[in-house]
Amino acid sequence: MENSKNVDENIKNIDFKQISKNITSGFYKCVGIGSGRIVFDLGNGYVVKVARNYKGIGQNEAEYRISMADDSGLLANITAVSKGLTFLIMDKADRINDISFVWKHFNVKNNQELYQTQKLQEISRSYNLLVWDFGKAVNWGQINGKPIIVDYGYTKEVRRRFYLPPFFRINKR
């Protein structure tokens, strides 16, 4: 299931088995851990998000689907995903330690104002994203000095299917 949108020449022929072996061998530096995924720096301008469980598979699937449709320039580009969606390759962004970096870019003073910006409202509506998730520095990075959302797999659907208690999962869309 390779992404034909913006495929970089250096990463067209991805060997996910080799990536898996390199992870197991400790070859790649771990740069993030979440409830569903672990993120490793591939050392070539990309990271790999590895699903740890069904939540991670759901997040990888959502990010891949959104990336294919998005042209906002606000979301980190996804280059490829493996069959089964266990591995997702994304452009590497530099870490943002303070959300005020994002506030400055959007010319706002706090998260409440950030959530109201037209750009975040548009992507939130278009892809059923939880806008309040963008008030956390950990979900942002920067590429070429510009803030970029690097974690956008926690959609309303993913939340409903994988994070809510079973009672709340009943066909609520």
- Which pLDDT score, from 0 to 100, does residue 12 have? 57
Superfamily assignment of 9-92 in CATH?
A: Phosphorylase Kinase; domain 1 (3.30.200.20)
Average pLDDT, the chain: 90
**pLDDT tens sequence across 32-47:** 999 999 999 999 999 9
**pLDDT tens sequence across 122-172:** 999 999 999 999 999 999 999 999 999 999 999 999 999 988 877 665 555
Is 59 within 8 Å of 37 (Cβ atoms)? yes
CA atoms of 130 and 13, how far apart (whole Å): 34
Joined together, the tokens standing for residue 56 give 């991670």
Domain ranges of the chain: 9-92, 95-169
The secondary element (H helix, E strand) that includes residue 18 is helix 16-24
**pLDDT tens sequence across 81-134:** 999 999 999 999 999 999 999 999 999 999 999 999 999 999 999 999 999 999
Region 70-77: mean pLDDT is: 96
Burial class (CB in 10 A: 0-12, 13-18, 19+), 138: middle
CA atoms of 62 and 154, how far apart (whole Å): 8
Backbone angles phi, psi at 41, to 5 degrees: -85, 120
pTM of the model: 0.87
